[in-house]
Structure 1
Amino acid sequence: MLDGKLRIAPTCYHVLHLLPVMSAHEMNFFYDEGLKTGDGSLAYQVLRDPMVPFGLEKLGISQAMKEKSVDIALDVQSRTIFFQRSRGADVYIIAGWRNQHTAAWVGPPHIKSLQDLKGKRVGISDFNSIRHWGIQIQLRKAGLDIERDVEWVRCGVSTHLLVEALRSGKVECAPVSGWMAETLKKEGCNVLVVPKDQYPNGR
């Protein structure tokens, strides 16, 4: 808290992480639930700048929260909290959201399964992103060593960039939307895994 106000801030630069809290603010949910001072002004502050550079959340979030007097960090990965608590940080999960894993992971015609990715390049939007984490789980299930068996290639967040990397041969696997996966299948590509099929209710 700073000046008696609860401070809420996004962990990284992803603007979508601010949408739920800003919607709640605009609809007066926080105020109606009692986050107001004795004189009726707001008893909270929503910060818009990210606390840590993307990819450094796991190591830096608790220190960033201390330095910026932030009480609630938005969209912190659960594994970050477990890691920080194992190091003695006084952080807790107070709410979460269900990851629906909407992407399909697609490979070119010669890649038929996740096992075929051994020694190959896997395209991701960004390191330590939710997609990066999600495909790591799938590759481990397929028996691959995620540190040795694949090369990670950062392609960018846009589906267009990921599809371009796949079509050009820059990578042998990339996450794309469901409709794009159908288009790529018509071109001879193979859908290697759809996490949503494994976790229909989210994970």
Structure 2
Amino acid sequence: MQFIPSGRMACALAATLIFASSGTLAQTLEKPKVSIAVGGKNLFYYLPLTVAEQLGYFKDEGLQVEISDFAGGSKALQALVGGSADVVSGAFEHTIDMQVKGQNITAFVLQGRAPQIVLGVSTKNLPNYKSLQDLKGKKIGVTAPGSSTNMLASFVLAKAGIKPGDVSYIGVGTSAGALSAVRSGQIDAIANLDPAITMLQQKNDIKVIVDTRTMKDTLDVFGGPMPAATLYASGAFIKKNPNTTQALTNAMVKALKWIQTAGPDDIVKVVPESYMLGDRALYTAAFLKVKEAYSPDGKIPDEGAQTALKALQAYDPKIAGKTIDLTRTYTNDFVRKANDKQR
């Protein structure tokens, strides 16, 4: 006698078979559709996010990820706070800043162990630049006000005794807008990232005065390791969606490990053509400059969180003197599991 399962039972059996054959947590994800906000997706700063997307690592984890691109990290953070994004691919220091504002934001996987941000002065507007004091009263272009590029510029200037109010910060974005702002003379200096910075250097449009594209330079500037891009979300989201958070982390760690062995030719085959701003050779050269900045395993170092806090306290009176619980700003629990899975 042939057994024919009922409709409900057949669906259950099908789901079980799919789960068994896939070997993923796709059937147990609390939120398989996830929206991620990012400020400047074309930047090398966020390359691991693009790799995970383009190589299908999110899909491998059963996720449907929608990535929304904004002019800068502060804008991506606003999307999270406003409820239009579940997760942000953004700078670690935002988790500290938001705690001061009474919001629990937690980073759960590290993309970059060096900020990759460069501060340069316009050779057109400031041909006789000698020191940071020359920037007083000047216009500094950043990806967006309140972003990590803004943070670096403010930190560097603060060490020279220059307050944030002594300069004007102007949002110029991350690609063509940034290049145009420098070349047209709209700004006197710029804090931005590759590939735009390397393009400006190549044409002698800027003189680099601060560089954090390597581990050594980062240590020189900040005095310790400085965590850069992360994936972060509200503590409530992570608590409610642990399997989804784990799946996101698995995909990102896989992307990070892929980058460790990738060459320039591998990168240009993965990223969209528009990221290269019309110059593939320069793009590959820029990648080699920043490759060591990527985290090999996604772990956020305890010392790095301390460095980020000290940097913010150095120039932001809203954070200086405040008691910050750094254990609430990040977790490595998901990264540990993701690395175990990759072995």
Divergent runs of 4+, >6 A? none
- 1:173 counterpart (178, 183, 189): 189
Match for residue 5 of structure 1?
31
* Structure 1 residues 155 and 80: alpha-carbon distance in aligned structure 2, compared to 1, 3 A threshold: closer
Deviations 1:125-152 (A, max 9, x none): 3323332222222112222101x21012
1:42-191 to 2 correspondence within 5 Å?
A: 42=62, 44-49=63-68, 55-58=74-77, 61-64=80-83, 70=86, 73-98=87-112, 99-101=114-116, 103-107=118-122, 108-146=126-164, 148-157=165-174, 158=176, 159-165=178-184, 168=185, 170-175=186-191, 177-178=197-198, 180-181=200-201, 183-184=203-204, 190-191=207-208
Structure 1 residues 84, 105: CA separation in 2 closer, same or farther (over 3 Å shift)?
Answer: same
Displacement after TM superposition at 1:100 (Å): 4.4
SS where residue 76 of structure 1 aligns?
A: strand
Q: Does the 8 Å contact 2:36/2:67 carry over to 1? A: yes
- Say which structure, 1 or 2, has more relative contact order (CA 8 Å, 6+ apart): 2
Change (3 A) 1:22 1:60: closer
Change (3 A) 1:46 1:152: same
Higher helix share: 2
State how far apart, in whole Å, the 2-side matches of 1:143 and 1:90 are. Answer: 32
Q: Which has the larger radius of gyration?
A: 2
2:190, 2:138 → 1: CA distance?
12
The one-character-per-residue Cα deviations of 1:16-55 (angstroms, maximum 9, x if unpaired) are 455133145x1x5764xxx4xxxxxx3x32123469x963
**Structure 1 residue runs without a partner (length 5+):** 36-41
TM-score normalised per structure 2? 0.42
SS at match of 1:101: coil
**More off after superposition, 151-160 vs 137-146:** 151-160
The equivalent of 1:22 in structure 2 is 53
The one-letter amino acid of 2:166's match is D
Q: CA deviation at 1:76?
A: 2.9
| In 2: Cα distance, 1:95 partner to 1:121 partner | 34
The sequence identity of aligned pairs, in percent, is 16
Aligned CA distance change for structure 1 residues 128 and 119 (closer, same or farther; 3 Å): same
User: Structure 1 residue 121: deviation in Å?
Assistant: 1.6
Post-superposition shift, 1:117? 0.6
Aligned to 2:307: none
Q: Return the TM-score normalized by structure 1.
A: 0.65
Alignment match, 2:259: none
Q: How many angstroms apart in 1 are the aligned matches of 2:203 and 2:69?
A: 36
